[in-house]
Amino acid sequence: MRTAAELLAAHCQPLDEQAAMTTEQVEAQLAALPQWRLVDGAISRRYRFGDYFETIAFVNALAWMVHREDHHPELRIGYQQCEVSFSTHSAGGISDNDFICAAKADAIFTQRYGSATE
């Protein structure tokens, strides 16, 4: 299991048919990112904001990061919230890349709002 700091320092890697993590591995790794949950075969977190502008600003920063990592989440965007879900379709489940991007999403949120909590 990697720490949140180790995930944050890492970059997504091509998986080349790497198998998805087991449920046990996912649950163990989730301990490093306590705001994230396993939901329907993906790791997911809802971020809350003061208004729509803040929500979209976060989405734009997230879009820049995931484009750079070449690992894109599913997003559900509302007026004061954004739900982010990561899974790796090519691996058929959740991979290390999902946790790397989740840690980076938390860092984007924390940089602006000072806390990783909702």
Q: Where in the chain are the domains?
A: 4-9+35-113
What pLDDT sits at residue 117?
A: 52
CATH class of the domain at 4-9+35-113? alpha beta
Please report the beta strands in 1-118, taking only residues with DSSP state E, as ranges in sequence order. Answer: 37-39, 42-48, 74-77, 81-86
Q: What are phi and psi of 83, to 5 degrees?
A: -100, 125
pLDDT number for residue 115: 66
In the block, tokens 């075969």 appear at 41
pLDDT at 15: 80
pLDDT by residue for the chain (118 residues), tens digit each? 999 999 999 999 988 666 799 999 999 999 999 999 999 999 999 999 999 999 999 999 999 999 999 999 999 999 999 999 999 988 899 999 999 999 999 999 999 887 655 5
